[in-house]
């Protein structure tokens, strides 16, 4: 647990327009007062993120969503009852409280009530909305430990609340409720099946909504190149790459029978554990200076859905 004086310090800093890195159950967030334009501009500067890319507003309580959205569709209340606090972000028609510097000038706002106890304490004491993107440099993998935040953002953050590794390790599911038909903009720990069970209708995943930079190609990517292979292809592909002089890392649940020069980063067989370990593994591989990562994606069940989504993005062409 975190020292209560640190919670108070975080809240003071937020009130003064500071930047505080906060643990959530998904990934660490880089938080600022969502109603303080200068503070929010500091978020974009610290991350190196274009300011047209909208931020998620984090709230202590589902009831607060009503003041950030100009209308709360029934679907939003149903999903809030089922999944908040938790790893679900809802995109809703914005109210006047959600300024252009939060929404990137769009007519919608993304809101989430996170479950992490430290984040909740800060949110409750602060009272208002905390704008928080993932606490990483723009375009890199999210931070799942305080060390990751320090490595990426260093002195540009006023305080990092360190509560150890994030329990989920992958960003929240984003569901768009601003148009007539709900859709998933980003897969996460809340599955399509769970959303569909609660809403009683299909919730397709939308592929082309470029509005969310998380949907841009080669987002969520380590510095090393990423290539996806099946377990059966792994050995042959690793051999070919090593022959061409590349430094190859292998990320797989069962990296058996590899050429000796390939560095194996063995992943847990359980998809939930795989998700928790993924970004830390990518960061370790980058620290060690590998050229290319061969990844065997986990099965599609549970968090496997979100993991495969991030891996496909990481493997897509870089600009």
Residue selected from 36, 75, 134, 172 as contacting Mg ion according to rule CB under 5 A: 134
* Rounded CA separation 182/201 (Å): 9
Give 109 or 252: the residue with its C-beta nearer to ligand TXA.
109
Residues in contact with ligand TXA by CB under 6 A are 24, 26-27, 29, 53-56, 89, 91, 103, 106, 108-110, 112, 114, 132-134, 171-172, 174, 185, 211-214
Across the beta sheet with 292-295, the strand order is 225-228, 292-295, 248-252, 263-266
Give 92 or 251: the residue with its C-beta nearer to ligand TXA.
92
Give 10 or 110: the residue with its C-beta nearer to Mg ion.
110
Beta carbon of residue 47, minimum distance to Mg ion (angstroms, whole number): 8
Q: Is 281 in the site for Mg ion (CB under 5 A)?
A: no
Which of ligand TXA, Mg ion, none lies near 88, with the C-beta cut-off 5 to 8 A by kind? none
**Total chain residues near Mg ion (CB under 5 A):** 1
Beta carbon of residue 106, minimum distance to ligand TXA (angstroms, whole number): 5
* Rounded CA separation 115/7 (Å): 16
Which residue has tokens 């990562």? 293
Beta carbon of residue 222, minimum distance to ligand TXA (angstroms, whole number): 16
Which of Mg ion, ligand TXA, none lies near 98, with the C-beta cut-off 5 to 8 A by kind? none
Buried b (16+ CB within 10 A) or exposed e, 185-205: bbbbbbbbebbeebbeeebee
Beta carbon of residue 188, minimum distance to ligand TXA (angstroms, whole number): 7
Which residue has tokens 């809240």? 11
Which of Mg ion, ligand TXA, none lies near 183, with the C-beta cut-off 5 to 8 A by kind? none
Q: Across-strand partners of 292?
A: 225, 248
Give 134 or 172: the residue with its C-beta nearer to Mg ion.
134
* Rounded CA separation 192/300 (Å): 12
Both tokens of 129, joined, read 């909305």
Beta carbon of residue 180, minimum distance to ligand TXA (angstroms, whole number): 16
Which of ligand TXA, Mg ion, none lies near 24, with the C-beta cut-off 5 to 8 A by kind? ligand TXA
Q: Across-strand partners of 160?
A: 21
Close Cβ partners of 95 (under 8 Å, ≥ 6 residues apart): 67, 68, 69, 70, 109
Q: What is the 3-state secondary structure (H, E, C) of 249-266?
A: EEEECCCCCCCCCCEEEE
Q: Is 234 exposed, middle or buried (0-12, 13-18, 19+ CB in 10 A)?
A: buried
Beta carbon of residue 150, minimum distance to ligand TXA (angstroms, whole number): 16
Distances (CA, A) of 311 to 170, 227, 272, 304: 11, 9, 15, 10
Give 93 or 259: the residue with its C-beta nearer to ligand TXA.
93
Beta carbon of residue 198, minimum distance to Mg ion (angstroms, whole number): 26
Give 91 or 293: the residue with its C-beta nearer to ligand TXA.
91
Which of Mg ion, ligand TXA, none lies near 103, with the C-beta cut-off 5 to 8 A by kind? ligand TXA
Beta carbon of residue 51, minimum distance to Mg ion (angstroms, whole number): 14
* Rounded CA separation 28/22 (Å): 6
Give 172 or 272: the residue with its C-beta nearer to ligand TXA.
172
Nearest-CB residue to Mg ion? 134
Q: Is 144 in the site for Mg ion (CB under 5 A)?
A: no
Can you give the binding site for Mg ion, defined by CB under 5 A?
A: 134
């Amino acid at each position: 647990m975190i020292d209560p004086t640190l919670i108070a310090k975080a809240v003071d800093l937020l009130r003064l327009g500071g930047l505080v890195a906060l643990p959530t159950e998904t990934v660490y967030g880089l938080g600022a007062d969502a109603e303080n334009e200068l503070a929010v501009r500091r978020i974009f500067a610290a991350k190196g993120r274009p300011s047209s890319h909208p931020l998620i507003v984090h709230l202590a309580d589902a009831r607060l969503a009503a003041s950030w959205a100009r209308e709360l569709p029934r679907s939003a209340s149903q999903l809030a009852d089922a999944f908040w606090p938790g790893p679900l972000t809802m995109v809703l028609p914005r109210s006047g409280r959600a300024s252009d510097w939060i929404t990137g000038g769009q007519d919608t706002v993304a809101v989430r009530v996170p479950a992490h106890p430290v984040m909740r304490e800060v949110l409750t004491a602060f009272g208002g909305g905390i704008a928080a993107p993932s606490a990483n440099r723009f375009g890199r993998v999210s931070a799942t430990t305080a060390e990751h935040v320090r490595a990426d953002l260093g002195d540009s953050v006023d305080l990092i609340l360190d509560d150890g590794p994030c329990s989920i390790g992958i960003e929240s599911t984003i569901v768009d409720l601003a148009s007539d038909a709900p859709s998933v903009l980003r897969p996460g720990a809340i599955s399509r099946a769970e959303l569909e069970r609660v809403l009683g209708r299909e919730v397709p995943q939308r592929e082309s909504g470029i509005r969310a930079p998380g949907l841009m190609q080669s987002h969520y990517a380590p510095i090393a190149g990423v290539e996806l292979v099946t377990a059966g292809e792994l050995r042959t592909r690793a051999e070919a790459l090593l022959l061409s002089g590349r430094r190859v890392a292998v990320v797989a649940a069962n990296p058996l029978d590899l050429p000796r020069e390939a560095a194996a980063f063995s992943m847990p067989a359980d998809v939930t554990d795989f998700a928790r370990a993924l970004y830390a593994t990518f960061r370790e591989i980058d620290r060690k200076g590998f050229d290319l990562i061969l990844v065997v994606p986990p099965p599609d069940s549970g968090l496997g859905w979100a993991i495969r989504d991030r891996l496909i993005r990481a493997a897509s062409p870089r600009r």
